[in-house]
Amino acid sequence: MPDLRYLVKAIDDAGELLRIKRPVDPRFELPALLKQAEARRKGVLFEDVKGAAFAAVGALLTSPPRFAMGLGLTDSTGYSAHDHRDAVFAAIANPVQAALVTQAPCKDVVMQGEAVDLGLLPVPTFFAEDSGPFLTAAVGISRNPDNNILNVGIYRVLITGKNQVAVSVGPSSDLLQFLAADKAAGRTTQIALAIGVNPELLMAASAKVPPELSELDVAGGLSGESLKVTQAETLDMVVPADAEFVLEVEIDHQQYVPNTMGEFGDLYGTQNGHIGTVRVITHRRDPMFHTIMAGAGREHNSLGFIILYDIEPGLKQALSKAFPQVSDLRACFAPPTMGMPGELYLQIKQGSTISVSELARRVFEMRVGRWDICRVIRKIVVLDADIDINSNNDITWAINNRALTANHHLFFEDLPLPGVGMRMAIDTTVAAEDRERLQRLVIPGSEAIKLEDYLDD
Ligand SMILES: Cc1cc2nc3c(=O)[nH]c(=O)nc-3n(C[C@H](O)[C@H](O)[C@H](O)COP(=O)(O)O)c2cc1C
């Protein structure tokens, strides 16, 4: 199964890897460069991070074509979020069990006891108000106390000391339930934080999978080949054998800190940080520390969007019965911030009529899978059939030209949204009497007329 080094090499071979040899400060300087690399669609390797013993790499899984590279597909061009969604669903339906190995590169070097020093890692502090340096690509492996299955998620982790971390755990995370159950039973919680893991495992960790399934096996399903795992040094669990680093952590439920950090929507958020002690750090020889640009970064949002993959098919099914006038829909993290909560575009069949207010309210009140739609969708835009639902430009055109009066903007202030204000819908559908006046400009037959065919050699 491709590991992180395979992906970095594939990006390099495609001419998309920047190498920064000059020393960079992990506090603000590294994130500033990482953000610019993402904007240029480049991956980036920081060979010399000030104060750290290891190189850092980032801006890797920033788009569906990069997901394809990470999956080892020979042709990544044209690979879409829908292709990736289908691959994730297929992997959940057909997991491949992880394989235990004894020869594990992640154990090339073992630091234990006094030798444990998180200061050696090139951990960035991203934004002005962050609580401190954050691991952003740490895949956390923990045991579900109900069924003993190993659960995997990505959790951002604040470095609070030489051998101490605070693991950020959000309200919808399965890990939060395990922590509560362990605390109630008087047990510590063991969690392995693996950094620089196989791309398939990063993708599986970002997805919501049923509790009876381990994301370790979903990673196998994504690749068609078992993920290699090895016994941890001090924890009662296995860890990914190809990881660049593994931190073995024990949380004793005695201390918490507020972890303030950059969120998907380009604003700060605060999650509860569960303090844990790092008993052991193991790493590969010449390890590469994977760091994901926090906030509205491309890698953060591309991986983050995986959790919403089940929204579109679930809504399609629900709407096909309740509102057959809806012909198509698309959920996305909308530009420019690309943040959660996202936007939902609903297309109406040509010639059909619908109450947009009723439609939007019903959709906001729906629950699809684990999601209350009003929690994950901020704005619904309703489109006529002549607007390309996959074109952000078309959608902006429709909003700018067909939703110019107050009654096209609907606000829903009474939804069950603790702490957040309201949700909105924009109705860009055109009334019959306005249709001619608000037509789009069309050149008849233009799709078949190609400029290249008219250029002389
Ligand atoms: C880059 C990235 C960072 C994330 N950071 C956090 C985090 O700090 N805390 C959290 O609870 N979830 C975070 N998530 C979301 C979880 O990884 C995701 O919800 C996962 O399914 C949680 O797994 P669990 O429900 O099995 O615990 C992050 C996701 C991504 C892609």
* CATH number (domain holding residue 354): 3.40.1670.10
Question: Which residue range is the domain that position 143 belongs to?
Answer: 4-307
> Order of strands across the sheet with 17-20?
17-20, 43-46, 55-58, 288-290
User: Which ligand 1 atom minimizes the distance to the CA of 299?
Assistant: 1
User: Which ligand 1 atom minimizes the distance to the CA of 137?
Assistant: 1
Confidence of residue 340 (pLDDT cuts 50, 70, 90): low
- For residues 173 and 206, give the distance between their C-alpha atoms in angstroms, rounded to a whole number: 11
Instruction: Give CA 208 to chain center in angstroms.
Output: 11
Ligand 1 centre from 189 Cα, in Å? 17
Rounded to 5 degrees, φ, ψ at 14 are -80, 5
State the average pLDDT for the chain: 94
User: Which ligand 1 atom minimizes the distance to the CA of 300?
Assistant: 1
- CATH code where residue 288 lies: 2.30.110.10
User: Is residue 457, in this structure, part of any structural domain at all?
Assistant: no
- Asked if 291 and 314 sit in the same domain, the reply is no
Ligand 1 centre from 355 Cα, in Å? 37
Is the preceding omega at residue 133 within 30 degrees of 0, hence cis? no
> What is the per-residue pLDDT for 456?
80
Pocket of ligand 1 (CB under 6 A): 136, 151, 153-156, 168-170, 173-175, 205-206, 208, 271, 292, 300, 303-304, 307
Instruction: Please state the pTM of the whole predicted model.
Output: 0.90
- What is the average pLDDT across 190-213? 97
Among 77-81, 83-87, 224-228, the range scoring the smallest mean pLDDT is: 77-81
- Asked if 404 and 363 sit in the same domain, the reply is yes
- Asked if 260 and 332 sit in the same domain, the reply is no
User: Is residue 345, in this structure, part of any structural domain at all?
Assistant: yes
Among 134-138, 238-242, 286-290, 348-352, the range scoring the smallest mean pLDDT is: 348-352
> What is the per-residue pLDDT for 351?
86
Residue 418 has pLDDT above 70, yes or no: no
Question: Closest Cα to residue 309, out of 88, 6, 40?
Answer: 88
Which residue, judged by its Cα, is nearest atom 20 of ligand 1?
153
> Order of strands across the sheet with 326-332?
326-332, 342-348, 377-383, 423-427, 409-412
Model pLDDT for residues 20-76, shown as the tens digit of each residue? 999 999 999 999 999 999 999 999 999 999 999 999 999 999 999 999 999 999 888
> What is the per-residue pLDDT for 338?
59
Residue 337 has pLDDT above 70, yes or no: no
Which residue carries 């520390």 as its tokens?
A: 289
> What is the per-residue pLDDT for 23?
98
Helix axes 215-223, 199-206, angle to 10 degrees: 130
**Which residues, 6+ apart, have CB-to-CB distance to 31 below 8 Å?**
124, 125, 126, 127, 293, 294
Q: What percent of the chain has pLDDT over 90?
A: 82
User: Is residue 446, in this structure, part of any structural domain at all?
Assistant: no
Q: How many CA atoms lie within 13 A of 112 on its CB side?
A: 6
Structure tokens given for 272: 């509860």
Residue 412 has pLDDT above 90, yes or no: yes
The number of distinct structural domains making up the chain is 2
Residue 321 has pLDDT above 70, yes or no: yes
> What is the per-residue pLDDT for 336?
59
User: Does residue 43 sit in helix, strand or coil?
Assistant: strand
DSSP one-letter code for 309? T
Ligand 1 centre from 155 Cα, in Å? 5
User: Is residue 449, in this structure, part of any structural domain at all?
Assistant: no
Write out 314-348 in H/E/C secondary structure.
Answer: HHHHHHHHHCCCEEEEEEECCCCCCCCCEEEEEEE
**Which residues, 6+ apart, have CB-to-CB distance to 191 below 8 Å?**
140, 141, 142, 167, 175, 235, 249, 250, 251, 276
- Asked if 140 and 177 sit in the same domain, the reply is yes
DSSP one-letter code for 27? B
DSSP one-letter code for 369? T
User: Which ligand 1 atom minimizes the distance to the CA of 152?
Assistant: 26
> What is the per-residue pLDDT for 371?
85
Ligand 1 centre from 446 Cα, in Å? 46
- Asked if 259 and 271 sit in the same domain, the reply is yes
User: Is residue 441, in this structure, part of any structural domain at all?
Assistant: no
- Asked if 87 and 165 sit in the same domain, the reply is yes
- Asked if 214 and 286 sit in the same domain, the reply is yes
